[in-house]
């Protein structure tokens, strides 16, 4: 498995790609409210991405028909925007978006609360975000890749949630999905040694109930098999000599 090490120039392009995506997510977050359709979210996302002269990398990726994945409640990832899907009070909605800036990809996901959400579901969303940060504490040169996986698992398991295993994080750069794969659960091996210049999309997908998932008849939408809510949190991260740099968050 070859993990690409980005040059100084590539890192600059990835920083800009990530910064733009962070701004896109900020704007999308402001649009989330009961009554908006998932198609309206997609239209806004594509317009925002193109307004920065960037390309939505999810659009047509393996045939995906939209610029952003919009996954509601028990939908884990890869929800297809639709004019008939309307957000309602009490929902959670995961937005996974990415873009290409001058040939370099960024990828990030956020789960938003829609109106008044049950406390146990709010906690799921919060802890899913927190387990990402527990994971990237280990994302330093000299550590090994699966130190990240183990830290995510160790943090999130205390709550009894289900960690989705069929979908994992990934390297990212001149392509959306590069080596290595980054599981969100404990690994027996150590994985590759982390080096400055690696860029990784780390993305825990956490179910309130059991870990099992199913894929709907649209061949895209991944849902929690038990029908309970699921949350997703992702950033594109640069490995450095010191602390990791989160490329898809505004400073
Ligand atoms: Mg990703």
Give pLDDT tens digits for 86-143: 999 999 999 999 999 999 999 999 999 999 999 999 999 999 999 999 999 999 999 9
Q: Is 4 exposed, middle or buried (0-12, 13-18, 19+ CB in 10 A)?
A: middle
From ligand 1's centre to the CA of 107, what distance in Å?
5
176-235 pLDDT, tens digit each: 999 999 999 999 999 999 999 999 999 999 999 999 999 999 999 999 999 999 999 999
Q: Residue 251 falls within a domain, yes or no?
A: no
Q: Residue 247 falls within a domain, yes or no?
A: no
From ligand 1's centre to the CA of 84, what distance in Å?
26
CATH number of domain containing 192: 3.90.230.10
Q: Residue 249 falls within a domain, yes or no?
A: no
Tell me the residues surrounding ligand 1 (ion) with CB < 5 Å: 107, 201, 203
Average pLDDT, the chain: 98
From ligand 1's centre to the CA of 60, what distance in Å?
15
The pLDDT, as a whole number, for residue 100 is 98
Q: Residue 117 falls within a domain, yes or no?
A: yes
Residue 158 CB partners (closer than 8 Å, separation 6+): none
Q: Residue 122: give the domain boundaries.
A: 8-242
Q: Residue 248 falls within a domain, yes or no?
A: no
Name the domain count of the chain: 1
CB 189 within 8 A of CB 1: no
From ligand 1's centre to the CA of 123, what distance in Å?
22
19-68 pLDDT, tens digit each: 999 999 999 999 999 999 999 999 999 999 999 999 999 999 999 999 99
The pLDDT, as a whole number, for residue 1 is 63
Q: Residue 3 falls within a domain, yes or no?
A: no
Structural tokens at position 190 = 């150590």
From ligand 1's centre to the CA of 2, what distance in Å?
18
Q: Residue 158 falls within a domain, yes or no?
A: yes
From ligand 1's centre to the CA of 169, what distance in Å?
6
From ligand 1's centre to the CA of 37, what distance in Å?
23
């Amino acid at each position: 498995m070859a993990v690409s090490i980005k040059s100084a120039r590539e890192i600059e392009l990835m920083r800009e790609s990530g910064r733009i995506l962070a701004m896109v997510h900020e704007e999308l977050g402001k649009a989330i409210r009961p009554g908006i359709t998932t198609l309206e979210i997609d239209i806004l996302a594509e317009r925002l991405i193109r307004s920065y002269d960037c390309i939505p990398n999810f659009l047509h990726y393996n045939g995906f028909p939209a610029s952003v994945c919009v996954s509601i409640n028990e939908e884990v990832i890869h929800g297809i925007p639709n004019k008939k899907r309307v957000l309602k009070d009490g929902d959670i909605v995961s937005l996974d978006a990415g873009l290409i800036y001058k040939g370099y990809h960024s990828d990030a996901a956020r789960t938003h609360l829609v109106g008044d959400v049950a406390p146990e579901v709010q906690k799921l969303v919060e802890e899913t975000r927190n387990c990402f940060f527990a994971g990237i504490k280990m994302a330093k040169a000299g550590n090994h890749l699966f130190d990240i996986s183990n830290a995510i698992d160790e943090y999130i398991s205390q709550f009894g949630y289900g960690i989705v295993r069929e979908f994992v994080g990934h390297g990212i750069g001149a392509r959306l999905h590069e080596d290595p794969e980054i599981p969100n659960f404990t690994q027996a091996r150590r994985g590759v040694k982390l080096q400055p210049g690696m860029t990784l999309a780390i993305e825990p997908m956490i179910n309130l109930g059991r870990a099992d998932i199913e894929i709907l008849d649209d061949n895209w939408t991944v849902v929690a098999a038990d029908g309970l809510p699921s949350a997703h949190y992702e950033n594109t991260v640069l490995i450095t000599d010191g602390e990791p740099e989160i490329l898809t968050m505004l400073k």
